[in-house]
Amino acid sequence: MAKSIKKNYIYNLCFQVLSIILPIITAPYLARVLGVEGVGTASFTLSIVAYFILFANLGIASFGQREIAMHQDDKKKYSKIFWDLSAYRLVVGALTTFAYLFLILFADKYQIIYGIMIVNLLGNVFDITWFFQGLEEYKFISMRNIAVKLLFAVSIFIFVRNPEDLNLYILLNGLSILISSLALWTRLPKLVEKPVIKAIRPFRYIKDTFIYFLPQIATTIYTVLDKTVLGLYDPSQTENGYYEQAYKIIQIATTVVTSISVVMAPRFAFLYKKNNIVELKERLRKSMKFIFMTAVPFAFGISAIASLFVPWFFGEEYLQVIDIMQVFAPVILIIALSSAIGGQCLTPCGMRFQSALVLMLGAAVNFGANMILIPKFWSFGAVAGTLLAEVVVTAGYFILARKYMGTVQTFKDATKYFVAGILMYIVVMLVKPYFAPTIVSTIIVTAIGAAVYGVSLIVMRDELLFEYMRLFWRKMTKK
């Protein structure tokens, strides 16, 4: 069942690009239609449901993908694994749904919204994306996701017209998840053997899936705990509304940077397996330089143009988002570094357990910081908690990876990018007062900043930039 890695990458890339573009299109509309409180309410309630989704999954998806991938050439074997795990997930999902019903019954606020969001929970319970990923059926996954996301985006513009449509927006979001999950089952009969009911053992993988569940707890704490705590301390949900919009922009930028670097991971696993440590170190050093080269301008750039970008993109109601984005911006570089080290070094080199421990430590720091800082500093406290936790995780990853990379040399290589980034930031801050906060002005100022950054690297004769320029020139001359 050999698959084309190049084609799978293209399919996945198309989906990732759409995942970046669609929020850019829908976010300004939803910001104005739902208002700060509406956006904040959706953010807070989704964070609550995320905990139930976490337990409904219980690490099954991550473990299942790995097991299916290992046995993708043995249809009988992977069919048995699929039905065992699906039965296990159905049992766990049923128990989690039952527990969720108590939340709906005893919630003193947002009861209707929580009731609607049971669709989100069911959509995740029936999601078998992990099975298709294990079989490397990325074309089907990507095409399905693209179709559902486009349908969801169109539905937003058609049906969501005012703040009173918040419940409808939440329902559409849940239905997009459920429809996307159920669509996978239509193709299942072609790929898997029929189950033998008596032979199904739903609890045989409890111990294995739990190992994968622990890092997911940490990830969930990172991504939703700040929104939960904000919502508990601010019943109006305005702080959550501001934080959600800033988080969304930072997340898009982070996705751009990390999506580019993740494709290098398979090569690192191959080099480690062949014990080619010298080439692994060299490639890792080059990869880290690439991360710095792309993430540094994003971090400095977003901080610099926030005051031009926010007023026309989100609206005058969201001016507080400017300050939050400026404080949040460094996390782009920090997360990009930890993602690169974890995906390209620690996991391929067999240090998944150690990296999971670091991730749990970061989650604990995030939890403590949120509980202390959010009551005093609101959304800025949430940002500070995230930054602190990400610094702890990234530092821990650097320590674990010290055998394969020199930390001092890594940051020495990055000096040029920080110099170029600072020069870009200064120039943008100097020219920005002459421009009004409009889309045209933002594009012009962004272009000026990008030019300053690029020219600065050329003047400093950055090797990596020249290498990519030569590669680009060779491809263009061949055409």
- Which tens digits make up the pLDDT trace of 406-425? 878 889 989 999 999 999 99
Asked if residue 332 has pLDDT above 90, the reply is yes
Q: How far apart are CA 425 and CA 428, in angstroms?
A: 5
The torsion defined by the Cα of 370, 375, 381 and 382, in degrees rounded to 10, comes to: 50
| 148: helix, strand or coil | helix
The predicted model scores a pTM of 0.92
Q: Which of the pair, 478 or 355, is modelled with greater confidence? A: 355
Q: What is the mean pLDDT of residues 304-311?
A: 98
pLDDT, the chain, mean: 91
Of 135-139, 241-245, 310-314, the least confident = 135-139
Which whole number is the average pLDDT over 171-183? 95
129-161 pLDDT per residue, tens: 999 988 888 788 888 889 999 999 999 999 999
Give the mean pLDDT of 39-60.
Answer: 95
4 pLDDT more than 70:
no
pLDDT at 276: 78
Residue 294 scores a pLDDT above 60: yes
Predicted local confidence at residue 396, as pLDDT: 95
Which of residues 453 and 259 earns the better pLDDT score?
Answer: 453
Across 24-34, average pLDDT: 96
In this predicted model, which residue has the larger pLDDT, 130 or 273?
130
| Largest separation between any pair of C-alpha atoms in the chain | 74
Q: Rounded distance, CA 417 to CA 257, Å?
A: 15
pLDDT at residue 439, as a whole number: 96
User: Between residues 405 and 234, which one has the greater pLDDT?
Assistant: 234
Say if residue 20's pLDDT is above 90: no
Residue type at 4? S
Write out the DSSP string of 191-235: TSPPP-GGG--TTTTHHHHHHHHHHHHHHHIIIIIHHHHHHHH-T
- 40-57 in b/e form (b: 16+ CB < 10 A) is bbbbbbbbbbbbbbbbbb
Whether the pLDDT of residue 387 is over 80: the answer is: yes
Q: What is the pLDDT of residues 450-479, one digit of tens each?
A: 999 999 999 999 999 998 888 878 877 875
Q: Which residues, in sequence order, are CB contacts of 419 under 8 Å at separation 6+?
A: 456, 460
Q: What is the share, in percent, of the chain residues with pLDDT greater than 70?
A: 94
Q: Binning pLDDT at 50, 70 and 90, where does residue 8 land?
A: low
